[in-house]
Amino acid sequence: MIIIGKLHQSIILFLLLLLFIFTINISIEYSKYKELIYEEVYETKVEIVNIYKKKKVNILRLKNKNFEFFTSVNKDLKFHKLDVIQIAFLTNKISFISYLKGFYAKKIYIDKLTKNSTLKDLISKKINSNHIDSQISEVFNALFLAIPVSSQLRDVFSNYGITHLIALSGFHLSVLSFLIYWIIFFPYDFVHKRYFPYRNKKFDLILISLTFLFMYLLLTNIVPSLLRAFVMLSLGIFLLRSNIKLISFTNLLFTFLLIVVFFPKYIFSISLWFSMSGVFYIFLYIKYFSEIKSMIMKLLLFNFWIYFAMNPIVHYFFPNTTYEQLYSPFITILFTFFYPIELFSHLFGFAGIFDSYLKIFLEKEFIMFDVTTHLFIFILYISLSFLSIKSKKSFILLNILLFGFTVYLYI
């Protein structure tokens, strides 16, 4: 009882610490917001994150060191992703919530600036030089640098039900960590044996790999889904060293709290919520299906069940539906081979190996229809999902609801 009491006390103190840090960070964000709206016209230098082409105008998604926002420009203005521009815009209709979420602002003037090439620019140019087709270049810029794809390509991936593969997250980070680990293994092995053989070589290599992954996280401008994966990896290493259970819903909750505490804006990130949801259902799968012995059956069931489990959530926000989305589990399995092969091919000079097949894949035409998850079904599904953490009966009801929704979605 004394041990349990001390554990609860430690958790309460930890949560109070997180609340304190969150209060400081949200206060800092509010002070930045007040600085933004202090005058009716605000001028700043920003980078173009993405360009959404509409019928009459182009919508620019812009980012500076403090916030992201959107504005519209004439279609005859030639801008590109990663361009740096000087912009002045009106601030009188910007609320604090919209500031955190990403607001739309009416520009007063806009001017393209000369930009010093960054490492990200150089890598992007190298990727572009390896591919003739601009859409294929977009795909690999997204896969390696988290540069958002155009709305046209985003729709293609949505129609295949594979937007989760393009958004950098846990799988991409695991492949990169494996690659980094073995690149540094042999040089470090030589140094380790010669100068400090008393150290834990594996743990040192993990920490060095983690440092490189953190640098990669900064290179991608701290994408929410990749941040989630990095925090979980770092937390996992700490827990492993402390002999604490790795796969835990509590650890997932702590990961979410840590991200929101230090990055309050990400509480409005759909990318983060989808990433957290995906891991949540992976944990549910492990909890209830881990006793399956056949590896092939495990692999197939894993990909299919996770895909179908996410559908009620995805379709609450994005109603577009195609029958090709049923290919998603198979494409996900193929992607586990495609991504590391493409990563190696881009590093060693044969990047166009699958370009012709990828072009066919991207040019497919779809018959689309809209199916939206009703709010009541959404709430019921989320409730059953949380109850399934402790209750097998709730998990059975969850799967019955999931089956019914899948029939409703595709039949």
* 304-354 per-position pLDDT tens digit: 999 999 999 999 999 999 999 999 999 999 999 999 999 989 988 888 899
What residues of the chain score a pLDDT lower than 70?
1-7, 242-247
Query: Is 50 buried (19+), middle (13-18) or exposed (0-12) by CB count in 10 A?
Result: middle
From start to end of 292-379, where are the E strands? 320-321, 369-370
Collapsing DSSP to helix, strand or coil, 85 comes out as strand
Distance between CA 271 and CA 266 in Å, rounded? Answer: 9
Q: Do the beta carbons of residue 47 and residue 62 sit within 8 Å?
A: yes
Q: In what order do the strands lie in the sheet with 84-90?
A: 103-104, 68-74, 57-63, 41-53, 84-90, 107-112
Distance between CA 24 and CA 19 in Å, rounded? Answer: 9
Given this model, what pLDDT does residue 49 score? 93
Pairing of strands 320-321, 84-90: unpaired
Q: Which domains does the chain show, CATH number per domain?
A: 2-112 (2.40.50), 159-410 (no CATH)
Given this model, what pLDDT does residue 6 score? 63
Given this model, what pLDDT does residue 250 score? 85
Distance between CA 71 and CA 64 in Å, rounded? Answer: 14
Q: Which residue has the tokens 């941040």?
A: 227
Is residue 308 left, alpha or beta, with left meaning phi > 0 and alpha meaning psi from -120 to 50? alpha
Half-sphere exposure for 237 (CA within 13 Å, toward CB): 16
Maximum CA extent, the chain: 71
Given this model, what pLDDT does residue 48 score? 94
CA 269 to chain centre: 9
Given this model, what pLDDT does residue 135 score? 93
The continuous run of DSSP H or E covering 402 comes out as helix 392-410
Collapsing DSSP to helix, strand or coil, 58 comes out as strand
Q: How many CB atoms are closer than 10 A to CB 409? A: 17
32, two tokens: 């930045």
Residue 363 phi/psi, 5-degree rounding, is: -90, 5
